[in-house]
Every structure is written in C-alpha cells, then in structure tokens.
Amino acid sequence: MKFLPYILRNVQRNKLRSVFTGLSIAVSLFLVTVLYAYVNMQDEMGEGALKYARVVCTAKQGLTFPVPIAHVDKVKGMEGVKTVVPLAWFGGKYKDDKIPFAQFATDPDHCFEVFAEFTVPPDQLSNFQKDRTGCIVGEKIARKRQWKVGDKIVLKGDIYPVNLELTIDGIYTGPAGSDLEMLFYDYTYLDELLKQSRSQMAGNAGTMFIKAQTPEMMPDLMQRINARFANSEAPVRAMTEQAFRQMFTEMLGNIRVFIRNIAIIVVAALVCVAGNAMAMSLRERTREVAVLKAIGFSRFIVLTLVLIEAIVIAVIGGFLGVMAARLLFQFTDMSMIGIPGFSSFYVPVSTMLFSMLLAAAIGLASGIIPAWRAAQVSVVDGLRKVV
C-alpha cells in the first residue's frame, strides 16, 4: 500500500498514453462484456426461471412446427402438472412497426399462474379473463407507446392471415430484468379468426408452458410428456426454460464458441497494445529504475511495481468499458434491435465481474515482459543511459 502513491503517479506520468491505452481497453472490454452478457443473461434468466418450475414444450421437429392445442388438455391431466397454457407467437405489426414486439395468444385464466413473476391488478386481470378480445401488456411497452387501459390497438397479421383488434384490459409489472414488453391475449380469439379464414393454422399453438407442482418434479415430468406424445402425429420435446432460452441463442449459431473466439482475439490484441505502451513507458524510465535499484529496491519490488501499474491502467480502462456497457443497456431501448432475447437486455453482475477480472489479467499479461526487463536493468548501465 505504501507504494501505491508512486504507482498512481506513474500511471499519470504520460497522461495521453495512459488515456489511450485505457480507452483501447475500455472499448474492447465493452465489446467483450456485451457479447458475454448476452450469453450469461440467457443463462441467468434460465436459472432464475427454475424457481417458477416451468417446462416448455415445442414440437419435436422444432420451434417452427405447431403443437396441437389438444395437447394442452392432455398435459393438464398428467401427474405433477399444476397448470398448462398454450403460447402462440403472433408476430403482428403495430402501425408502422418494422420489427414486431412479442405478442402471445394464451389462456387468460391460467397465464399469470404460469408466469407467476408478473403482477396484474386483480380487477384488470378479471376484465381480461372476461373479454375475449382483451389483452394485457407489459409496463415497459405500455409506457413506451403511451398505451393505457381501455385503449384499442390493431395488430396486422404477418405470419397468420388475420388481424387482431384488441382492447388493453390491463398492464403487468414484474421484477427487474424480466421482460415487460410482451402482450398476452386470448387464444380462443385467434383460433376463432383462423377458423373463420379457414387457415390450416387453426387449432395449433407454437409452444406449451407447463407449470410443474415443484421444480424437483420437472425432470421426470419432461420425460413423461415426451413419452406421452412420442407415438402421436405431433410428437413434442419438453425442456426446461433455460434450455428453451439457450435454443434461441443457438439459433444465431454456436454463439458461445464465436464469442469465446472473439474474446480471445480481443484480449490478445489488447495485451500487445497495452504491453507496447508499458514497454515504451519503462524504456523512458530506465534511469529511474536503475536509481530505484541503486537505493535498494529489489528486482522483485521493481517487477511488482511495474505489474501493478499495468494492472491499474487495465482495470481503470476495463471499469470504464464495463460500466459503459451496463449503463448503456440500462437506459437504451434494445427492443428495436430485433434479435431474440435482446428486448430485455442487461449486463449481469457476473459478467461485469468476469470482465473486470479479464481486464486485470490483460494488465498482468501486458506488464510481464516490460516488468521482467525493468527488473533485469543493470544499475550501472541504467545510470549511464541518457533519455
């Protein structure tokens, strides 16, 4: 600690160089933080969803294939199932929207039992359950679009050949990090319109969300659901919500490997940049290092001082990048990006800690060679050196 003032003064010695080194680390770690946050956020939300004991059921062939609505009642009767709702992605456009927000046809009576983390005022929920063309919207999207209870909205079908004319019956809220930009409406209304238009999509839902009686019952329940429909015309694949979220992530490719490779390249480049800056700084200080050693600073102390200096610069840069990522996504509307899972994008604390550790590791790696060379400086030669 007693060496800290000296280290901090050295960090500020060449302000411009330190600023640029710090900024290069900040920008790069911003990128790494965002990439890792996307993966970690999916994991964190999936793990968080475990406590809600939800099993997601899609068609075995994939998400683009329908699950017959008749499956809902069959699953409802199975042991260990508390309740089941269908969830059909409508994907309609509102006014001039180019990218649809999340709109789901579901069962109004049980939807908020399955999604227990969301809260709807009882009177609004009651109205929704009685109103076949009603809907409930998330607090965030309502605020963004200035919707209020009683407003009427029209969603133009894109996937489905029908338009929905809905009345906002209620607004749901939820804990921090939850998706408050969805719209839920009555599945029977969609099905009725599809039947009227003689669409083959009638009688089907995209997924089923099943609430198990306890989280411990989920593995067995998933097996039994899969087995129950294995020989039917529409076999299904039951999975945890975490696996379901991961499936979305994997739709973008093997994103984990992709992100890891990008991170490795970024880190390697940063180590070179920061290492070069550190080496330049030390080269200019050869005489000072020699003086330190002459007055009794050991090789180990010199090495440690240089390493800590490199780590301080990297950690300051890393902190700026990580905080920039955290604050940017906290105050920016990410639903406009249109990538699945980005509408409620946030940077988890675990990702921030990881990035800070990465910054420290970059500092350490970038400082090793300059520090080693500084520690090896001969006092006699160093004192002769005129910069």
Partner 1 sequence: MPAGSERAVVELRGVSKEYMRDKIRVPVLSNTNLDIPHGDFVAVMGPSGSGKSTLLNLAAGLDRPTTGTVTVAGTELNQLSESKLTRWRSQHLGFIFQLYNLMPVLTAFENVELPLLLTSLSRRQRAEHVETALRIVGLQERMDHFPRQLSGGQEQRVAIARALVNDPVLLLADEPTGNLDAAAAQEIMDLLQQLNEEFEKTIVMVTHDPRAARRARRMLHLEKGTFVETELDALEAAG
Task: In whole angstroms, give the CA distance from residue 329 to residue 323.
Answer: 10
Q: Can you tell me which of 292, 325, 356, 374 binds partner 1, judged by CB under 8 A?
A: 292
When asked if residue 385 is in the footprint of partner 1 (CB under 8 A), the reply is no
* Burial label, 92 (beta-carbon count in 10 A; 0-12, 13-18, 19+): buried
Q: Can you tell me which of 3, 130, 216, 272 binds partner 1, judged by CB under 8 A?
A: 3
Q: Which is nearer to partner 1, 297 or 342 (CB)?
A: 297
Q: How many residues bind partner 1 (CB under 8 A)?
A: 24
Q: Where are the beta strands (DSSP E) in 316-374?
A: none
Q: Which is nearer to partner 1, 120 or 305 (CB)?
A: 305
Least distance in Å: CB of 379 to partner 1?
A: 5
Q: What is the CA radius of gyration of the chain?
A: 28
When asked if residue 2 is in the footprint of partner 1 (CB under 8 A), the reply is yes
Contact 48, 346 (CB under 8 A): no
Q: Can you tell me which of 5, 77, 122, 253 binds partner 1, judged by CB under 8 A?
A: 5
Q: Can you tell me which of 27, 288, 328, 339 binds partner 1, judged by CB under 8 A?
A: 288
Which residues within the stretch 296-325 sit at the binding site for partner 1 (CB under 8 A)?
Answer: 296-301
Under DSSP, the state recorded for 92 is P
Task: In whole angstroms, give the CA distance from residue 302 to residue 314.
Answer: 19
Tokens of 81: 């199932």
Q: Which is nearer to partner 1, 13 or 51 (CB)?
A: 13
The amino acid occupying position 385 is K
The upper half-sphere exposure of residue 211, i.e. CA atoms within 13 Å in the direction of its Cβ, equals 15
Task: In whole angstroms, give the CA distance from residue 321 to residue 328.
Answer: 10
Least distance in Å: CB of 291 to partner 1?
A: 4
Strands 102-106 and 67-68: unpaired
Residue range at the interface with partner 1 (CB under 8 A); choices 10-18, 22-30, 163-171, 312-320: 10-18
Residue range at the interface with partner 1 (CB under 8 A); choices 65-73, 206-214, 217-225, 379-387: 379-387
Least distance in Å: CB of 283 to partner 1?
A: 16
Q: Is the dihedral of CA 20, 26, 30, 31 positive or negative?
A: positive
* Burial label, 331 (beta-carbon count in 10 A; 0-12, 13-18, 19+): exposed
Q: Can you tell me which of 10, 281, 335, 343 binds partner 1, judged by CB under 8 A?
A: 10
Least distance in Å: CB of 296 to partner 1?
A: 2
Site string for partner 1, 247-286 (x = CB under 8 A): ----------------------------------------
Which stretches within 77-217 are classed as H helix?
Answer: 111-114, 122-130, 139-144, 187-196
Strands 102-106 and 152-156: unpaired
Least distance in Å: CB of 300 to partner 1?
A: 8
When asked if residue 6 is in the footprint of partner 1 (CB under 8 A), the reply is yes
Residue range at the interface with partner 1 (CB under 8 A); choices 9-17, 116-124, 199-207, 228-236: 9-17
Q: Give the angle 252-253-258 at the CA atoms, nearest 5°.
A: 110
Which residues of the shown chain bind partner 1 in the complex (CB under 8 A)? 2-3, 5-6, 9-10, 12-13, 287-288, 291-301, 379-380, 383
